[in-house]
Amino acid sequence: KAGVTQTPRYLIKTRGQQVTLSCSPISGHRSVSWYQQTPGQGLQFLFEYFSETQRNKGNFPGRFSGRQFSNSRSEMNVSTLELGDSALYLCASSVKTGIRDTGELFFGEGSRLTVL
């Protein structure tokens, strides 16, 4: 079974630009979560999508947005990039089985964004 796939793995942008990151979850997984990882702040939750609906959102400005498609693939977008947006963006998928949901996540390898 293929794992979570994120593209691109590395990218460099300049301040003010926007970026779109893509995530393909494990087959059968309907939930996709996004995390930002930085040396200073650690792992911070961005948002979670389930069945094309954003079900949960972290404490990030509106420049950070996402969506999920009917095939469960997800994209996240960051507009008007700032230097502080440089980070590893991790996507994770999970099965989400209602009352048996444990929160366990399966992570991709991440997209490393550098903002110059």
Partner 1 sequence: AQSVTQLDSQVPVFEEAPVELRCNYSSSVSVYLFWYVQYPNQGLQLLLKYLSGSTLVESINGFEAEFNKSQTSFHLRKPSVHISDTAEYFCAVSVKSGQGAQKLVFGQGTRLTINP
Q: Name the segment binding partner 1 (CB under 8 A); options: 16-24, 31-39, 66-74, 78-86.
A: 31-39
101 binds partner 1 (CB under 8 A): yes
Q: Residue 27, exposed/middle/buried by CB under 10 A (0-12, 13-18, 19+)? A: exposed
- Nearest to partner 1 of 82, 109 (CB atom): 109
Residue 110 touches partner 1, criterion: CB under 8 A: yes
Integer Cα distance of 83 and 68 in angstroms: 26
Distance CA 44, CA 56 (A): 13
Long-range contacts of 58-61 (CB under 8 A, 24+ apart): 60/36
Is 25 a residue that touches partner 1 (CB under 8 A)?
no
Number of residues that bind partner 1 (CB under 8 A): 26
Asked whether position 60 contacts partner 1 by CB under 8 A, the answer is no
Does 63 bind partner 1 (CB under 8 A)? Our answer is no
C-alpha 100, offset from chain centre: 23
Interacting residue with partner 1 among 42, 59, 62, 70 (CB under 8 A):
42
* 61 Cβ neighbours under 8 A, 6+ residues apart: none
What residue ranges bind partner 1 (CB under 8 A)?
4, 6, 31, 33, 35, 42-43, 45, 48, 50, 55-56, 90, 92, 96, 98, 101-110
